[in-house]
Amino acid sequence: MDPVLFVVLLTAATGVGGLAIGGALAALIKRESPRGTSMLLSFTAGLMLAIVALDMVPEAIEASPWLPMTPLVLVLGFAVTWLLNCWIDKSAHHEDRNAPHHCACGHHDLHTAGIVLAAAVALHNVPVGMAVGATVAVQGICLASVLAAVTIGLHNLPEGMSIAVPLLHDGSRTLSAIAVAALSGVPTVLGALAGYLVGEQAPVALAAALGLAGGAMLYVVFFELLPEAALQWRSRWPILATVLGFALGVLLIFGHSHH
């Protein structure tokens, strides 16, 4: 098989497919009750925290030529996402501005949270795809490249869930939520092609992309998912769900790093 075609098919199946499966899983376990919604949002927030803290940030630090660069870019990604949401809040025409869930700046609706998270995941998937493409470029079509792509697919399951959950609970149709999750995996294919053609990654660009994406994800976790979970159900159980989500993220990341 042609190596370029192999890279495209492999990353499409594991990148786009993994996120789509994650979105479908979120639709299957969706709950209509406020308590179920709160638990699911909290669990998703824990998964995202694990991915950012234990996967994206360490990778960014390793790729960065200057240690303070990663925290600075992380804060920049958070701030840019916050300002973007403020602009969306001011520009959007809300029918009910006196609703208790409305805030002048900083907290938009769950639909916006899902879209922002999809953009962050898409940005994150560029260097991830580059890693697979570079592996194929250096080692050819081999078991190592397949394993790398498969672990990326497993890694994408919780990210696909995290994108679909806020969209589903904001009223989006199931197919639309899954489609948004799947589309955020397209940059995996583009990154894989770039990684294959170049054969190596630019450390500064890799660190910047991971840092910006991580900051955007932290915004979604702390300004969207967790506040909405608290509004749905004020209890200690959602906190436990967050811890369980974080623990599952550790297991997935450990397996990904091990391979």
Query: Cα(43)–Cα(128) distance, rounded to whole angstroms?
Result: 24
In a domain, 38, yes or no: yes
Residue 58 CA, distance from chain mean position: 16
In a domain, 231, yes or no: yes
Three-state SS letters, 220-237: HHHHHHHHHHHHHCCCCH
Q: Please provide residue 98's backbone torsions phi and psi, each rounded to the nearest 5 degrees.
A: -95, 5
pLDDT band at 73 (very low <50, low <70, confident <90, very high): very high
Query: Closest Cα partner for 179 from 192, 168, 190?
Result: 168
Query: Cα(116)–Cα(219) distance, rounded to whole angstroms?
Result: 9
The arithmetic mean of pLDDT across residues 54-60, rounded, is 84
Query: Cα(70)–Cα(56) distance, rounded to whole angstroms?
Result: 10
Query: Cα(120)–Cα(106) distance, rounded to whole angstroms?
Result: 17
**pLDDT tens sequence across 198-249:** 755 567 777 887 788 888 888 888 987 899 889 888 999 999 999 999 998 8
pTM of the model: 0.67
In a domain, 127, yes or no: yes
> How many CB atoms are closer than 10 A to CB 37?
23
> How many CB atoms are closer than 10 A to CB 168?
25
Residue whose tokens read 């790093």: 257
Q: Which is it for the CA torsion 164, 108, 217, 248, positive or negative? A: negative
pLDDT band at 99 (very low <50, low <70, confident <90, very high): very low
CB contact at 8 A, 213 and 56: yes
What is the model's pLDDT at position 126?
80
Helix 3-11 and helix 143-169: axis angle, to 10°? 30
**pLDDT tens sequence across 163-200:** 888 888 877 888 999 999 999 999 989 988 887 877 55
> Which residue range(s) make up the domain with 20?
3-91+102-258
Q: How long a stretch of residues is the chain?
A: 259
What is the model's pLDDT at position 95?
40
In a domain, 50, yes or no: yes
In a domain, 143, yes or no: yes
In a domain, 69, yes or no: yes
Q: What is the 8-class DSSP label of residue 98?
A: T
Query: Cα(47)–Cα(42) distance, rounded to whole angstroms?
Result: 9
Q: Encoding tokens for residue 8?
A: 């495209």
Query: Cα(41)–Cα(242) distance, rounded to whole angstroms?
Result: 8
Count: domains in the chain: 1
In a domain, 96, yes or no: no
CB contact at 8 A, 178 and 20: yes
